[in-house]
Amino acid sequence: MPADSPRPQYDCSKCPGYCCSYPRIEVSDADLKRLARHFSIEVDAAEKRFTRVWRSKEGFERVLRHQKDSVYKTICRFFDTDARRCTIYKARPGVCREYPDRAKCGYYEFLKFERRHQDDPDFVPSA
């Protein structure tokens, strides 16, 4: 984090990983090469194994594949659904590195509010 970046006001270790449940996590060419290097496989193999095509009005995009999840229905295939954390932290795509790109995470604010409201520090709103 750059020296002048505002101090994060969220704690991912207390969150079940909501941002990793987004269905559209883009994988750039550079991200794909990093993933292939991380797993010591060819780029084509990494693309087939880890990504799928996302179709929208704007066209086609390469995104991370998902797996089933008990909290959010589906979540990134690289997410450890028991430990609730990323298993490829150093090799994760650029969008994961940038998010939330500000001092506050909107979902974490919502989570804190709900936990206070429910008087339960572990409460997770249903997906």
Using CA atoms, how far apart are residues 74 and 80, in angstroms rounded to an integer?
12
The conformation of residue 19, written as its DSSP 8-state character, comes to G
Q: Does 78 bind ligand SF4 (CB under 6 A)?
A: yes
The conformation of residue 99, written as its DSSP 8-state character, comes to T
> Smaller CB distance to ligand SF4: residue 36 or 108?
108
Pick from 34, 62, 66, 92 the residue near ligand SF4 by CB under 6 A: 92
Length of the chain (residues): 127
Q: Does 79 bind ligand SF4 (CB under 6 A)?
A: yes
Pick from 86, 94, 124, 125 the residue near ligand SF4 by CB under 6 A: 86
Pick from 100, 112, 115, 125 the residue near ligand SF4 by CB under 6 A: 100
Q: Are 17 and 105 in contact (CB under 8 A)?
A: no
- Return the range that interacts with ligand SF4 (CB under 6 A); candidates 41-49, 50-58, 101-109, 113-121: 101-109
Burial of 96 (0-12, 13-18, 19+ CB in 10 A): buried
In the complex, the smallest distance separating the C-beta of residue 19 from ligand SF4, rounded to whole angstroms, is 3
In the chain, % helix, strand, coil (3-state, to 5) comes to 35, 20, 45
Residue ranges binding ligand SF4 (CB under 6 A): 10, 12, 15, 17-20, 25, 64, 76, 78-79, 86, 88, 92-93, 96, 99-100, 105, 107-108
